[in-house]
Structure 1
Amino acid sequence: MPYRHVAVFRFSALGDVAMTVPVVYEVCRAYPGIRFTLFTKKTVAPLFVYPPDNLTVFPVDTKGRYRGFAGLWRLYRDMKSQGIDAIADLHNVLRTRVVGFFFAISGVKRAILDKGRVAKRRLVARKKPLPIQPLPTSFDRYRQVFARLGFETPKTFRSVFDDRHFPLPLPEGIESRREGEFWIGVAPFAKHEGKIYPLDRSESLVARLSQREDCRVFLMGGGGEEADLLGGWAEKYPRVVSLAGKRLGFAVELSMMSRMTLVVSMDSANMHLASMAGTPVVSVWGQTHPYAGFLGWRQSKENIIQLSDLSCRPCSIFGNKPCYRGDYACMQELSVERIWNRVEEILRREKK
């Protein structure tokens, strides 16, 4: 392998950055004699807990030192001083293309992510060929970038935690898991409306789970209104704890997820965080579809909850488009019973 120091780009969003972790960790561990530096936004850099010894995470302040075109030139100069001799661009946006171009004209080899935009547009078109077919996953696309640089990526990643890297202690106020007790995470929010299950039904799921004396439910979400709502649920139902808005940090949140029996999540960053921790996820899909390639790492297709026979799905890759029917049938017609039954099946298996 002719490289000594490989730069990896992926700046946002949180879920997409989380999806790089399995592939990047695999490549680094497969090539311990090569240095890798992952350049990502400052806010998500702490996500890379227990990185391989040959991986450095470089937090890029895009609102400070590396802001604007002058900032990109400054980033290039700072990177060049580190002896970068190959670029793996896992983002393929203007920022990464500009910096990559600077390296390319100086003779540095680079490989750029193929986002598959044309195929994704066909997948979400109103008049789409049926039945729809799965596209390559984001993990496959990231692997292809490394393959174009000559790297093979064995599928060995299970969790950021292993025999040498243990989860952090529980946050203050959280009692240890009792023998025979199930810990269930519920993450009812997502960035866009088309990916959020009706909150009254999510609450009914939480209420039902709270009736089981062998279960403790942990609610996950952001601050502000999300924290207020989930805090209300925690006060209303027994054996329910809200972690929303606690600002525990990625390492603690991942440690908590690693202890959970399962997580119920939308197509959101929490699905990918739980996947990083090796925890099964019952994932709920509305406007978006797993066939777009964003199902969590090593997540079972059996745990996907969606309306497969709704012909207008998927209508969006990211869930950020208004429903052209106006009724969000993809979520409104999805019964909470289906989610409950899937959770029950996983718990039955765990008891055996």
Structure 2
Amino acid sequence: MVKNKKRPLIVIRLSAMGDVAMTVPVLLAFRKKYPGTPITFITRPFFGKIIRQVPGVDVYNTDLQGRHKGITGLWRLARDIRGMAPIGIADLHGVLRTHLLRVFTLFMAFPFRQINKGRAEKKALTARVKKNFKPLKTTFERYAEVFSKLGFPIELSDTDVLEKQALPQAWIRQLGQDKKKWIGIAPFAAFPGKQYPIGKMEEVVRQLASRGEHSLFLFGGGDKERQVMTEWEKKYPSCINLAGKSSFEEELALISRLDLMLAMDSGNAHLAAMYGVPTLTLWGVTHPYAGFYPFMQDPGFSLLADRNQYPEIPTSVYGKRLPEGYENAMSTISVNAVLKKITEITG
């Protein structure tokens, strides 16, 4: 291991939101064990806002649509990295861009180690026939392996979560002395097979709102999502739709103070988990066995589609493949089951 404390270790994870959020507990474990080793994290500007929550980690923003676009741009990025004089590079992404970056840094004086994504194991887990249905290594463990290859073994059992963030004054004024349980709800997912039926989710919201015991915060991004959540906000007085009303940093501060996050197998679940917020996840055609269960969450904080009715689950790692007839897999998770689990977790 190189012991020059002034030279940084470069960490690369360009996307996506959930995958970047999953690096946080690993970075915290690294910082705890190797406080004198600087880290520079290379990612997209938006995702850098997540990494800046980790004390002692610098962020280098890539410009993949400009200066770092294409092969020439990656060559520029390689030169930028050489200028940082790193002690090594931990590639936590393992995609074409980072493979090319590795080629461009082959003759530079630092090691470049990449994630083993376990593609063969995941292919067997998601196979239609001869499925090897068993839990795989977690993504957190795969990230940690990369650091170990560089001479920095870390223990994920000896890590922390991020501290709660201070709420913006605007939110303090709006929420006042709210003593209710704060529940975050992220009702959307990137793929249909991972999203709880919107009618069922609205029923969850309606029943929670009718109890008068909770303040409900709705998270989502796209125009169609905002429209749905705006309607819910109008219907149910205890709902606050955050989409388009606050910055991402403000949303992170609010997430850090939730009593519970209800989400799909999606980025919002990992954002909540990195603060140690109890996170209830709903799973459709994906499955926790693929290694993406939120960090340090109780295994009971999840509800899964019925594999007896839908034996091909998991159909893919990220939920892109939705076999014919599997459109209603998530409907096997009842509204009552969701409400009961929320009550169980929040007390």
2: CA distance between counterparts of 1:66 and 1:247? 29
2: CA distance between counterparts of 1:255 and 1:76? 34
The TM-score, its normalising length taken from structure 2, stands at 0.93
**Residue equivalent to 1:23:** 26
1: CA distance between counterparts of 2:38 and 2:162? 19
CA deviation profile, 1:156-190 (whole Å, cap 9, x unmatched): 4433216xxx43335446313533x2111111101
Which of 104, 115, 130 in structure 1 is aligned with 2:106? 104
2: CA distance between counterparts of 1:347 and 1:21? 25
1: CA distance between counterparts of 2:137 and 2:159? 19
**Residue equivalent to 1:262:** 260
**Residue equivalent to 1:314:** 314
> Per-residue deviation at 1:247?
4.2
> Per-residue deviation at 1:287?
0.7
**Does structure 1 retain, via aligned residues, the 8 Å contact 2:32–2:159?**
no
> Per-residue deviation at 1:325?
2.8
1:33 is the counterpart of 2:33:
no
The gaps in structure 1 that reach 5 residues or longer are none
CA deviation profile, 1:22-51 (whole Å, cap 9, x unmatched): 102221332122221110012211112333
1:212 is the counterpart of 2:203:
no
2: CA distance between counterparts of 1:171 and 1:269? 25
Q: Which amino acid aligns with 2:188?
A: F
2: CA distance between counterparts of 1:259 and 1:170? 14
Percent identity, aligned pairs only, is 37
1:141 is the counterpart of 2:142:
yes
2: CA distance between counterparts of 1:48 and 1:289? 26
1: CA distance between counterparts of 2:170 and 2:155? 34
**Residue equivalent to 1:182:** 181
1: CA distance between counterparts of 2:240 and 2:106? 51
Which of 114, 122, 128 in structure 1 is aligned with 2:116? 114
> Per-residue deviation at 1:152?
2.1
**Does structure 1 retain, via aligned residues, the 8 Å contact 2:29–2:160?**
no
The gaps in structure 2 that reach 5 residues or longer are none
C-alpha RMSD of matched pairs (Å): 1.7
**Residue equivalent to 2:325:** 326
**Does structure 2 retain, via aligned residues, the 8 Å contact 1:188–1:265?**
yes
**Does structure 1 retain, via aligned residues, the 8 Å contact 2:52–2:59?**
no
2: CA distance between counterparts of 1:133 and 1:26? 27
1:195 is the counterpart of 2:198:
no
Q: Which amino acid aligns with 2:73?
A: G
**Does structure 2 retain, via aligned residues, the 8 Å contact 1:223–1:245?**
no
1: CA distance between counterparts of 2:325 and 2:338? 24
Which of 81, 90, 99 in structure 2 is aligned with 1:79? 81
1:154 is the counterpart of 2:155:
yes
Aligned residues: 340
Kindly tell me: are residues 177 and 305 of structure 1, through their superposed partners in 2, closer, same or farther at Cα, counting changes over 3 Å?
Answer: farther
Q: Which amino acid aligns with 1:268?
A: S
**Does structure 2 retain, via aligned residues, the 8 Å contact 1:224–1:245?**
no
CA deviation profile, 1:180-209 (whole Å, cap 9, x unmatched): x21111111011111101000000000000
